[in-house]
């Protein structure tokens, strides 16, 4: 496995592998089982696997959040090798945003103004879209892999790739979860033992809404109220709990099409997001098994 730090080195390293299938997993490092499952999927479907590790400053609102983001490159590189990675691209901020960099890729409309965009500001998704576009153009992969935990990010990246005609298949993989259902996230490492125990309320509350949905409740206010109740009883502050159309991310009052139940919760100083899809067209038992059970 090779580690490269510049776009020029990356392109030269990838040149002999073009045509054989290149799978790309963009990350901000602090790799956990969720990232490793993306790398394994990329390795199963492509001849060459590229991992990027770059804590992208332009997608963070609060400087404190950026500073607190875990950086564990040495351990990441070891894990990446075991998961079938061939090339790690770990650029500096100056390599990604050289002097004079003046371009922003901005996806407009409900896709970026709701959920995370409403709390973190649209600049968050400007940061994500700009860095992902830059990375996709640097790597030139056949397939790029993203986790469904960041469902809005997947929708935004798909829109951007379609609009800019970037020739890549965006593959979204199911959210990787701990045994108690908590979505795996690099941020989980910052939870104290007590906070980690409390965080299990998040998947439990989502599951309560899934169960209600499976029993036939389609009103989004009733479903989100169940989640609110679970979180409030545990004393957790939520930033939002919302149900939106899974494709357009427009708000819904009743669910007649696939919907996304998404939330952001603060557990101590740590901000966690999670979501489940509520799909009236899918057998409820299958939907439950495929997500939180
Ligand atoms: O999901 C992430 O880790 C980041 O948003 C990404 C896609 C690597 C862009 O910085």
Q: How far is the CA of 209 from the centre of ligand 1 (A)?
A: 28
Give the residue from 139, 173, 207 where a domain finishes. 173
CATH number at residue 234: 3.30.1300.10
Residue 35 among the catalytic residues? yes
Whether residue 78 is found in the same domain as residue 206: no
Same domain, 20 and 136: yes
Q: Which domain holds residue 192?
A: 186-278
Full-model pTM: 0.94
What is the signed CA dihedral for 244, 250, 255, 261, rounded to 10 degrees?
0
30 ligand 1 Cβ < 6 A: no
Burial class (CB in 10 A: 0-12, 13-18, 19+), 195: middle
Q: Is residue 58 located within the same domain as residue 98?
A: yes
Please give the distance, rounded to the nearest whole angstrom, from the Cα atom of residue 146 to the centre of ligand 1. Answer: 8
Question: What is the tally of structural domains in the chain?
Answer: 2
Task: Out of 35, 108, 221, 238, pick the active-site residue.
Answer: 35
pLDDT tens string, the chain, 293 residues long: the values are 999 999 999 999 999 999 999 999 999 999 999 999 999 999 999 999 999 999 999 999 888 889 989 899 999 999 999 999 999 999 999 999 999 999 999 999 999 999 999 999 989 999 999 999 999 999 999 999 999 999 999 999 999 999 999 999 999 999 999 999 999 999 999 999 999 999 999 999 999 999 999 999 999 999 999 999 999 999 999 999 999 999 999 999 999 999 999 999 999 999 999 999 999 997 654 444 445 54
CB-based contact 90:6 (threshold 8 Å): no
249 and 214 share one domain: yes
Same domain, 166 and 206: no
Q: Is residue 293 part of a domain?
A: no
Do residue 192 and residue 169 come from a single domain? no
In a domain, 120, yes or no: yes
Given 173, 198, 215, the domain boundary residue is: 173
Counting Cβ atoms within 10 Å, is residue 168 exposed (0-12), middle (13-18) or buried (19+)? middle
pLDDT in tens, 127-186: 999 999 999 999 999 999 999 999 999 999 999 999 999 999 999 999 999 999 999 999
Q: Is the CB of 10 under 6 A from ligand 1?
A: no
Among residues 125, 145, 173, the one where a domain terminates is: 173
């Amino acid at each position: 496995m090779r580690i490269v730090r510049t776009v020029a080195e990356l392109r030269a390293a990838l040149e002999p592998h073009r045509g054989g299938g290149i799978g790309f997993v963009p990350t901000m490092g602090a790799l956990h089982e969720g990232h490793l499952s993306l790398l394994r999927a990329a390795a199963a479907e492509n001849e060459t696997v590229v991992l990027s590790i770059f804590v992208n400053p332009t997608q963070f609102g609060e400087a404190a959040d950026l500073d607190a983001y875990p950086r564990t490159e040495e351990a990441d590189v070891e894990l990446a090798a075991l998961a079938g990675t061939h090339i790690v691209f770990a650029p500096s901020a100056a390599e990604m945003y050289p002097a004079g960099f003046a371009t922003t890729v901005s996806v407009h409309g409900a896709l970026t103004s709701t959920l995370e965009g409403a709390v973190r500001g649209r600049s968050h998704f400007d940061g994500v879209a700009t860095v992902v576009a830059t990375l996709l153009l640097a790597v030139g992969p056949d397939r790029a892999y993203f986790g469904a935990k960041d469902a809005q990010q997947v929708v935004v990246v798909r829109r951007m790739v379609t609009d800019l005609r970037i020739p890549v298949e965006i593959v979204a993989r199911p959210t990787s979860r701990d045994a108690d259902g908590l979505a795996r996230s690099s941020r989980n490492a910052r939870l104290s033992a007590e906070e980690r125990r409390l965080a299990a309320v998040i998947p439990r509350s989502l599951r309560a809404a899934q169960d209600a949905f499976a029993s036939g409740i389609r009103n989004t206010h009733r479903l989100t109220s169940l989640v609110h109740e679970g979180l409030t009883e545990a004393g957790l502050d939520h930033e939002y709990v919302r149900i939106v159309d899974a494709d357009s991310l427009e708000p819904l009052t009743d669910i007649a099409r696939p919907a996304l139940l998404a939330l952001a919760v603060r557990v101590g100083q740590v901000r966690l997001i999670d979501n489940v899809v509520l799909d009236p067209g899918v057998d409820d038992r299958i939907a439950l098994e495929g997500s939180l059970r």
